[in-house]
Amino acid sequence: MQPLTLKQISALLRRGESETIEFKKVFDREAVETLTAFTNTHGGQVLIGVADTGEVVGVDVGKETVQNWINQVKLSTSNALIPDVDVVRFRKQDIIILSVPEYPIKPVACRGRYFKRVKNANHQMTVSEVVNEHLKTFNTSWDYYIDDFHTEADISFEKVQAFIERVNRTREVPIQDDPLTLLRKFELLRDGRITRAAFFLFMAGESSLSTIELGRFQTPTIIKDGARLKTDLFAEVDGVMAFIRKHINKAYIITGEPQREERWEYPLEAVREIIINAIVHRDYSSSSDSIVKIYNDRIEIFNPGKLPSGLSVERLLSGDYTSAIRNRKIADVFKEAGLIEKYGTGIRRVLREFEAKGLPAPKFEEIGDGFRVTVFSEAIHTKVTEQVTEQVTEQVTEQVTDSILKLLSFCVETKSTKEMMAHFNIKHREYFRSTILAKVIELGLIEATIPDKPQSRFQRYRLTARGQSVLNQMARD
């Protein structure tokens, strides 16, 4: 690296420590760790004789000082580092500048531990990060390697054939190969052995290695419904989306057109994009599972595996990054199937979809050793209150959810709370009253037969004139 000029040093002292600059009063163990972190990230320089505040305190340099430091760095690191050294006289004080470039073969260890530079601090790398850095050095990824635990017998050639047919529906030049030949051409089968990608994409049975836990939560601790997927990745995309559609609301928009419009509580294409990203970019070497939690007002998607080194949430949202693929072979096959349009553009499409629907922007965050995306809904049944008017005509836009429509149909004849709960197969009385019954009463679609005594054991509920009008309008459509 080029030696720093006095002007450059002055500028660095004003700016302070960063992803590539560290200040140290003395040379010590942490200085060696910082040099290691620099080599595993973007390179950098350690200025010895400078306090954390940027104040120059100087350092005493003996005849063998610099050489001893170099030897300590060399003996403490593997692959062995030999930093460039410059002795600079600055403000009547000596500063030693130790410089290292980004190392071509990563990661470099310091006394058996691996570090990376994040902003102005060193962070010890996880096992997964160490593995991924090593794989990137050889321009490959975890899923490219041969699967030592599975064979051709563990994958379904029927699923490979289904993939070929799927691709050919949109491909200008159709694939003419048989499943076995396709696996070879895509490098999913090499020397008669399947890769990890081949197993995850086309597994014949089930495997806990691909587990996705699904839950519909009534409260943070009460689960109404749950499921577990342990199949191939293509089927998991469909399985997760089916579970989500089962547990979110769908509104019917009456516009006066011959056919009413259906509108889901969330923009499904954007949610599908998030699910596909989670499945493609998941760290399958982790022992953790992917988790999808559906609440009344949000959906949380957690995935094992943090963002790639050097990529922050801020850069992800701004689009100021080059897409880094954790599982390159899986991503290539998904792209061939038309499930990924273009690397690095998915997040922007998701944000645009939610903005177009007038919904809050999704929340992206690193949490533990994974990544979580949370999407929010202004629950459709609360919008109904604002939009349902006194007159229901073909020219008036109304929103009615599936659950409301079913309740109206059931209450053509007077019903008790117990009867309604049994009809909807809901056992939690307070949940039914607060999330369904109270909303319909609030809209003026159903009313109590004994309004002055809401807790009466003889209490029943019936359609109002407005409720009957809504039901009639929906029946005509």
Q: Is the pLDDT of residue 410 over 80?
A: yes
pLDDT band at 317 (very low <50, low <70, confident <90, very high): confident
For 134-156, letters b (16+ CB in 10 Å) and e give: ebbeeeebbbbeebeebeeebbe
Candidate ranges 299-308, 370-379, 447-456, 464-473; pick with highest mean pLDDT:
299-308
- Are 142 and 326 in contact by the 8 Å Cβ rule? The answer is yes
What three-state secondary structure class fits 95?
A: strand
Which amino acid type is present at position 427?
A: K
Distances in Å between the Cα of 8 and the Cα atoms of 3, 16, 21, 42 are: 10, 12, 12, 19
Q: Using an 8 Å Cβ cutoff, are 361 and 339 in contact?
A: no
Domains of the chain in sequence order: 6-124 (3.30.950.30), 143-202 (no CATH), 208-376 (3.30.565.60), 380-476 (1.10.10.10)
Whether the pLDDT of residue 397 is over 70: the answer is: no
Interval 345-380: pLDDT, tens:
578 889 999 998 889 999 999 998 899 999 998 644
Residue 229 clears pLDDT 90, i.e. is over it? yes
Q: Can you tell me the mean pLDDT for 221-250?
A: 94
Determine the average pLDDT of the residues in 182-195.
Answer: 95
The chain-wide mean pLDDT, for the chain, equals 86
H helix runs in 24-178, sequence order = 29-39, 65-76, 127-137, 157-168
CB 79 within 8 Å of CB 55: no
Question: Residue 391 pLDDT > 50, yes or no?
Answer: no
- Out of 241-250, 329-338, 441-450, least confident range: 441-450
Inform me whether the pLDDT recorded for 187 exceeds 80: yes
233 contacts: CB under 8 Å, gap ≥ 6: 200, 201, 210, 279, 280, 330, 334
Q: Which of 71-80, 175-184, 382-391, 406-415 has the lowest average pLDDT?
A: 382-391
Q: Which of helix, strand or coil describes residue 197? A: helix
Look at residue 321 in the predicted model and tell me its pLDDT: 66
Evaluate whether 180 touches 127 at the Cβ level (below 8 Å): no
pLDDT at 389 over 50: no
pLDDT at 94 > cutoff 60: yes
Q: What is the DSSP letter of 195?
A: B
Q: What is the pLDDT at residue 341?
A: 66
Residue 172's alpha-carbon distances to 159, 175, 339, 342, in angstroms, are 22, 9, 17, 18
Q: Cα(271)–Cα(277) distance, rounded to whole angstroms? A: 10
CA distance 286 to 267: 30
Q: Which of 142-151, 227-236, 244-253, 297-306 has the lowest mean pLDDT?
A: 244-253
pTM for the model stands at 0.61
User: Looking at residues 172-196, what average pLDDT do you find?
Assistant: 94
- pLDDT, one tens digit per residue, over 111-161 is 999 999 999 999 999 888 888 887 777 667 889 999 999 999 999 999 999
Whether the Cβ atoms of residue 374 and residue 298 lie closer than 8 Å to each other: yes
Q: Is 381 helix (H, G, I), strand (E, B) or coil?
A: helix
